[in-house]
Chain A
Amino acid sequence: MAAISREEVAHLARLSRLAVTEEELDTFAGQLDVILQAVAQVGEVAAADIPPTSHSVPLTNIFREDVVTPCLTPEEALSGAPDAEDQRFRVPRILSEDVAS
């Protein structure tokens, strides 16, 4: 059985606002399936005595002090933006109100 369905790929594409054709759905579903199968193989090795890993380095509590450091100038900040107006990034409107918080 495939690890990821064609419908799931379509769903992910929609969430990422990617226009994916019917043909591409088949292609990507197949490719993603190969990747997920490979990951699943690694997963099989993990026994109960091996805790899940989220980080490759065994570190905790890496903090910085609350001290201000220099910022970019607005010109630098906007230099890579496709478009700007009134010193703000200018982007096409996004209708979905899927805002954070």
Chain B
Amino acid sequence: MTTTLPAYDEVVARFEPVIGLETHVELGTNTKMFCGCPTDFGGEPNTRVCPVCLGLPGSLPVANKAAIEAIIRIGLALNCSIAEWCRFARKNYFYPDMPKNFQISQYDEPICVDGYLDVEVGGETVRIEIERVHLEEDTGKTLHVGGATGRIHGATESLVDYNRAGIPLVEIVTKPITGTGALAPDVAKAYVAELRDVIRTLGVSDVRMEEGSLRCDVNTSLNLPGAEWGTRTETKNVNSLRSVERAVRSEMLRQASVLDAGGRITQETRHFHEDTGDTTPGRSKETATDYRYFPEPDLVPIAPDPAWVAELKAALPELPRVHRRRLQQQWGLSDLDMQSVLNAGAVELIEATVAAGTTPAAARKWWLGELSRRANESGVELAEIGATPAQVAELQGLVDAGKLNDKMARTVLEGVVDGEGSPTEIMTNRGLEVVSDTGALTAAVDEAIAANPGIADKIRSGKVAAVGALVGAVMKTTRGQADAKTLRELILERLGVQG
């Protein structure tokens, strides 16, 4: 494509974005939604299947109680009303990823409705309204063969593995999110991050985007100020938090360029490409979807006992937002500082480092400093950087014990990230320990004084600031392995000067 995209600032000055997010979360139950097959990730093809999830004649589904409990807890954490009575529905479609030719889902009677999730973006709280949270079953995995590309176009056959078919899947749908302007991409990302944290706190899913246990579809449209909402597109295949933000931004730019050229937006599904950050068109929705939903006759309605729901509500854990506010207070951080901790994805890491015995200030320094820098450089999430909170705590312990100075600690931390071992191992292997042998240090100091008589005289005559030059000289001869503060005191002492 040769079309030049307009500048983002210019687009948001002229258009108002409306976004909406549909998030799918695979629950971490032991068994599938409607049968007792295990749900573990991986496994040889078609080894976790039975007559129910293969849709064999005569088999009957029975709902997994743990999955019902999990979705009610999710609904409660998202401030939803829990339906007093609801049903499953059949969604009929012709595609081999479900062997039954339909998916059991929920249609006009979702189990949770009308909730919200507050997220923080740029120091402001944005309330994201939740339309519905419903339960369905995941599909099998299809592999397209016979074509060169592995994509469905050009393929002649599909090979299907039904291990994933029937795993409980929770779908969380927002209401259209308006009025966020230039922040729309950040709001989308912050929402998915917050949702992930909430669900992880509930312990009902491992919510790993890279393994597909949390998947996100992003709806985007643009309209002129005061005009009706524009036609929306749905971007699928958005598999990381960073991609959520990039997908909204790139779709806003693309739509603006189409509209500027006098074109119109087609209501369609688009696919996000991680490598280029672009979206390309998939199925057009205008010709499409007639799922002929009807109530699932093989499952009885769900009518959660209000006493049970109240019990689940009372037992909800402290949710991330409340938890963060408590930590912010404990750590003595300003809103802005807490926001940068949050943006860096460092809340849990710092918390765990503090729990391992480090002060909040020191833990924050490592995670937001060296480690964030390394994570940015290599384009990975901070949590995936390769250093653990326990290792950071160990490193700080060595600093506190006077065995490492700040510069050496940074070198050791680099080693930790590069997988060289624990901080203590790296310190020993690289011979990085601070020289604390006063005899050796005193000798080095005396040597430096003798070699720099002019500087020594200056210090003796009261220009204490000149001590830096001697500290530098000793550091050189000890290869940086002396503690600067101790060294400074020792030099002044040898010169008979009061610090």
Contact = CB atoms under 8 A, between A and B. Distances in A.
Given A63-B68, A98-B94, A93 B30 contact: no
B97 A99 contact: yes
Residue picked from B45, B62, B67, B98, most chain A C-beta under 10 Å: B45
B85 A93 contact: no
Interface string A1-20: 00000000001000111000
Contacts of B407: none
A62 B67 CA distance: 13
A65 interface: yes
Contact of A77 (B49, B153, B158, B159): B49
B171 interface: yes
- Give the interface size bracket for A toward B: 35 or more
A46 interface: no
B159 A69 contact: no
B161 to A, nearest CB: 5
B63 interface: yes
Interface stretch (B4-12, B34-42, B123-131, B186-194): B34-42
Given A90-B157, A98-B93, A71 B288 contact: no
B41 to A, nearest CB: 15
A42 interface: no
Contacts of A63: 62-65, 68
Interface stretch (B138-146, B351-359, B392-400): B138-146
Interface in A67-101: 67-74, 77-78, 80, 85-101
Residue picked from A57, A69, A73, A98, most chain B C-beta under 10 Å: A98
A92 to B, nearest CB: 6
Contact of A66 (B30, B85, B139): B30
Contacts of B50: 69-72
B203 interface: no
Residue picked from B36, B46, B64, B85, most chain A C-beta under 10 Å: B46
B239 to A, nearest CB: 14
B330 interface: no
Contact of B158 (A66, A67, A93): A93
A41 interface: no
Contact of A88 (B63, B153, B161, B283): B161
Contacts of A17: 94
A66 B37 contact: no
A91 B303 contact: no
Contact of A95 (B152, B269, B305): B152
Given A67-B36, A77-B54, A101-B169, A93 B94 contact: no
Interface stretch (B221-229, B289-297, B361-369, B435-443): B289-297
B259 interface: no
Given A60-B302, A89-B162, 13 more contacts: A61-B304, A63-B63, A69-B37, A74-B46, A87-B45, A89-B159, A91-B96, A91-B158, A95-B153, A98-B93, A100-B97, A101-B24, A101-B103
24 contacts: A11-B290, A17-B94, A60-B302, A61-B303, A62-B62, A63-B62, A66-B31, A69-B36, A70-B36, A71-B38, A72-B50, A74-B44, A77-B49, A85-B159, A86-B45, A87-B44, A88-B46, A93-B144, A93-B152, A94-B95, A97-B95, A101-B103, A101-B136, A101-B139
Interface of A: 11, 15-17, 54-55, 57, 59-74, 77-78, 80, 85-101
Interface of B: 24, 29-31, 35-38, 44-51, 54, 56, 62-68, 85, 87, 91-99, 103, 105, 136, 138-139, 143-146, 152-153, 155-162, 169, 171, 269, 282-283, 288-290, 292, 295, 297, 299-305
